[in-house]
Amino acid sequence: MELILQQTVNAISLGGTYALLALGLAVVFSIMGMINFAHGELMTISGYVLMYCGILGVPFTIAVPLAVLAAMAAAVLMERIAFRPVRNASGATMLVTSFAVAMILQVLFQNLISPRSQPVLLPEYLSQSISVGGIFIGVNKLVAIVATLVMLFVLDRFMTRQKIGIAMRAAAEDFAVARLMGIRANTVIAGAFAISGMLAGVAAVLWVSQRASVDPLMGFVPVVKAFIAAILGGLGSLRGAVAGGFLLGFIEIYLAAFLPSGMQAFREPIGLSLVILVLLVRPNGLIPAATIRAQKV
């Protein structure tokens, strides 16, 4: 029983990070119809900001907002420089562009920083654990859970209470008509990238705080997981992305914890088979995007 509780905490923590990342992919996809595979590199940028802050002795409480801001700024720049020129091109063109951005950034990290994994100085309390009702929970896991919940709450508020947030939902549903309302295309798209950058930044802080290191290719695995989570939840659906992220977290952690040791080698294929199983039953994902995207302009 304690083991189940323990693993459930781990699953919520990991799933929450996946949820934030999948949400970042979904926010951009819902508006632009593009999966941004350079999303992982936004995480890497945040990771390096944390690393340099550690080296320079910047307090962690300042390093975290700096890391998140850096990812936001990078996301907005990415849109401005790389994606705006291909905005009206086909989905395939945008996808390939995002791969190119990812690779260029990886090469830059390798050449300008270091091809090898670098340690990140973290405050000691993150690696401690506290006892809650008989089970020990790592502070970093707890922080991840709380941070995820706060982010989801803030984003939900933003999307339902703020004029620009509502405009982003409107644009996700019918871009052409949203523009007829006077909603500027550049504003909502830049806004979507800023939000996805913020989510990537927060996810990066959580990701790095579990590993205490950063390397040039760090973003690859999480962005692939986030992509799976977004598909699992229903591509383009924000609530779906969150659900998919958590489900993927639970699948991975429970398999790692409860699969017999002889079968651990097959953990990943078994996990992906479960994902495929879910998609067989719900081909459009757990919570499909409510409307098929109308024509893009």
Partner 1 sequence: MPLFGVNSLSVHYGAIEAVRGIDFEVGEGEIVALLGANGAGKSSTLNALAGLVPVAGGSVRFDGVDITNLKPEALTPLGLALSPEGRRVFGTLTVAENLRMGAYSISGRHVLEQAWERVYDLFPLLYERRSQYAGTLSGGQQQMLAVGRALMSNPRLLFLDEPSLGLAPRIVDQVFELIVKLREQGVTLVVVEQNVDRALEIADRAYLLALGQIRAAGSASDLAKSGAVTAAYLGEA
Residues binding partner 1 (CB under 8 A): 160, 163, 166-167, 169-170, 173-174, 176-185, 290-291, 294, 297
Question: Which lies closer to partner 1 via its Cβ, residue 172 or residue 214?
Answer: 172
Residue closer to partner 1, measured from CB, 179 or 267? 179
CB of 69 to partner 1, least distance (A): 28
At 72, list the tokens. 């936001």
CA atoms within 13 A on the CB side of 231: 14
Q: Please, what is the minimum distance in Å from the beta carbon of residue 231 to partner 1?
A: 20
If the CB atoms of residues 136 and 184 are measured against partner 1, the closer one turns out to be 184
Measured CA to CA in angstroms, residue 99 lies from 39, 40, 82, 83 at distances of 10, 11, 11, 11
185/228 with CB nearer partner 1 = 185
CB of 176 to partner 1, least distance (A): 6
Q: Count the Cβ atoms, other than its own, within 10 Å of residue 270.
A: 14
Rounded to whole angstroms, the Cα distance separating 72 from 142 reads: 24
Closest CA to 238 of 199, 187, 278, 282: 199
If the CB atoms of residues 80 and 267 are measured against partner 1, the closer one turns out to be: 80
Please say whether the beta carbons of 97 and 83 come within 8 A.
Answer: yes
Smallest distance, Å, CB 109 to partner 1? 37
Q: Closest separation between CB of residue 28 and partner 1, Å? A: 17
Residues constituting the chain? 297
- Distance CA(67)–CA(36), nearest Å, equals 20
